[in-house]
């Protein structure tokens, strides 16, 4: 069992079921051109599910099978659907010009993975698309 599967293995949602405050404020104060969203390193799905309740077409990626299952349960409880994929971002294959918005909330990666992820996000965003992230820095 991976460390994230272990972390998410309780019935409780580790980060809760409500969306990240920064994401919520940003989304409610900006217009997004288009409805296709990719949520990466999304854990148990609180942000992806919330975006789906707003009418976005959401795909979420996470390495944790346990987190993805909890996201599906949360989506069902909120009467929305989302597509989930178990993906290790170090090995992700990014499609060209696919999403209008990519979000990554507290997805912290080692430098070599971060470089791949940022290049992948640049590739997968449609022209005019938005990448929204909230992370911490050690600097």
The model's pTM: 0.94
pLDDT number for residue 127: 95
Distance (Å, whole) CA 121 – CA 126: 10
* 49-86 confidence digits (pLDDT tens): 999 999 999 999 999 999 999 999 999 999 999 999 99
Residue 139 pLDDT exceeds 70: no
Q: According to the model, what pLDDT value does residue 136 have? A: 79
H helices of 16-62, in order, are 21-29, 46-53
Per-residue model confidence (pLDDT) at position 51: 98
User: What does the pLDDT read at residue 33?
Assistant: 82
Mean residue pLDDT of the chain comes to: 94
Residue 2 is predicted with a pLDDT of 85
Altogether, the residues listed in the chain come to a count of 139
| Per-residue pLDDT tens digits for 102-132 | 999 998 888 899 999 999 999 999 999 999 9
User: Which tokens belong to 135?
Assistant: 């992370």
Beta strands in the chain (DSSP E): 36-40, 57-62, 83-86, 99-105, 125-134
Q: Between 85 and 7, whose confidence is greater? A: 85
> What pLDDT does residue 82 have?
96
DSSP E strands, 13-82: 36-40, 57-62
pLDDT over 70 at 15, yes or no: yes
Cα–Cα distance measured from residue 91 to residue 136, given in angstroms and rounded to the nearest whole number: 23
């Amino acid at each position: 069992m991976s460390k994230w599967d272990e972390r998410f293995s309780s019935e409780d949602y580790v980060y809760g079921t409500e969306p990240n405050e920064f994401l919520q404020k940003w989304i409610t104060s900006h217009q997004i051109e288009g409805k296709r969203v990719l949520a990466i390193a999304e854990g148990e799905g609180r942000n992806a599910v919330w975006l789906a309740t707003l009418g976005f077409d959401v795909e979420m990626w996470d390495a944790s099978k346990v987190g993805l299952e909890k996201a599906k349960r949360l989506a069902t409880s909120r009467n929305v659907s989302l597509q989930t994929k178990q993906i290790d971002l170090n090995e992700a294959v990014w499609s060209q010009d696919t999403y209008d918005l990519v979000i990554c909330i507290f997805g912290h990666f080692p430098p070599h993975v971060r470089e791949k992820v940022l290049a992948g996000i640049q590739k997968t965003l449609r022209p005019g698309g938005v990448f929204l992230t909230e992370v911490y820095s050690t600097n």
